[in-house]
Amino acid sequence: MSLTNLFSLEGKKIAYSGATGVLGTTMSKHLADQGAEVLIIGRTPEKVNQLVNEINASGGKAFGYFADVTDEESLEKAAKIIESQHGHIDVLINSAGGNMPGAVIRPDQNFLDLDTASLRKVIDLNYLGTVLPIKVLLPLMLKQNKGNILNISSMAATRPMTRVMGYASAKAAIDNLTKWLSVELAQKHGPEFRVNAIAPGFFLTEQNRTLLTESDGSLTQRGNQIKTHTPMNRFGKPEDLLGTLQWLCSDASAFVTGTIIPLDGGFSAYSGV
């Protein structure tokens, strides 16, 4: 098999939750450019429709479905429509996630200031927002006895950052889920089921922009600390994710499962000395 065929995504049906953010938009557009049919799942119709329209206008194939990833019933409704229109899916990408101020411990706070309700919402969004799409959409993979699941983790999962206690805990759970599920599916459903995750380092997104940059575009103290501890001395660009995304979604990674791939400019390798 040629390298072109090995990495091909042509005709693959890829369901993608949480695709309307900065990173997800770039990734979903790339998948469509490579010939995949991208099934965008999101809870905000305006954002979903905008991304679907942009992909289709550029010659790709995208379809929009509306569901809250923390609501199993709404996911089941979307899954029924997907099944009726596409029959099965080949790949599921789970990137819904985020943080809330109440689940952050600011420098002028301590652990006792943690807001339990906010923490619960962060855990629900990042962890259950991955578990439930897998549970609901896995039957669309079982129909053809193979499937590929790609979760989105974070550097915060293995290198707990100050402040983002709730988010880091939730992403650590994603790492554990990825490994556990890779064994579960391979042993009970066969070797053509695999589960992996990518763990982005620091990228400027709408979620963290105010944390890392000032209003004039200069870096905050935290932004400077992160850049200093990244050997490549820069933040990631959305395009930096695409090579690994292509590899993990394609047959080129057919013997890869249970892994969490860091895309962090060397952040996780640097001790600071």
The SS3 assignment for 198 reads strand
CA distance 238 to 253: 21
- Please tell me the number of Cα atoms within 13 Å of 135 on its side-chain side: 15
Q: Which residue's entry shows tokens 């309307």?
A: 20
Residue 66 main-chain phi, psi, to 5 deg? -110, 120
Residue 264 main-chain phi, psi, to 5 deg? -135, 10
> What pLDDT, on a 0 to 100 scale, did the predictor assign at position 164?
84
Residues with Cβ within 8 Å of residue 197, at least 6 apart in sequence: 150, 151, 152, 153, 174, 175, 178, 259, 260, 261
CA distance 222 to 213: 9
> What pLDDT, on a 0 to 100 scale, did the predictor assign at position 158?
86
Q: Which residue's entry shows tokens 């009726």?
A: 84
Find out whether 155 and 201 touch, Cβ atoms under 8 Å: yes
> What pLDDT, on a 0 to 100 scale, did the predictor assign at position 273?
63
Q: Which of 35, 1, 19 is nearest to 254 (CA)?
A: 1
Q: Which residue's entry shows tokens 């763990």?
A: 199
Q: Which of 170, 192, 8 is nearest to 94 (CA)?
A: 170
pLDDT 10s digits, 192-212: 999 999 999 888 766 666 666
- Indicate the DSSP class of residue 176: H
Residue-level pLDDT, tens digit, the chain, 273 residues: 677 799 999 999 999 999 998 899 999 999 999 999 999 999 999 999 999 999 999 999 999 999 999 999 999 999 999 999 999 999 999 998 888 887 888 888 998 988 899 999 999 999 999 999 999 999 999 999 999 999 999 988 887 777 888 889 999 999 999 999 999 999 999 999 999 999 998 887 666 666 666 777 777 777 777 777 888 888 889 999 999 999 999 999 999 999 999 999 998 888 776
> Catalytic site residue 16?
no
> What pLDDT, on a 0 to 100 scale, did the predictor assign at position 207?
65
Residue in 16, 65, 127, 167 annotated catalytic: 167
> What pLDDT, on a 0 to 100 scale, did the predictor assign at position 1?
64
pLDDT 10s digits, 92-139: 999 988 888 878 888 889 989 888 999 999 999 999 999 999 999 999
Q: Give the alpha-carbon dihedral of 89, 93, 96, 98, to 10 degrees.
A: 170
Q: Which of 146, 141, 101, 105 is nearest to 121 (CA)?
A: 101
Total-model pTM = 0.93
Residues with Cβ within 8 Å of residue 225, at least 6 apart in sequence: none
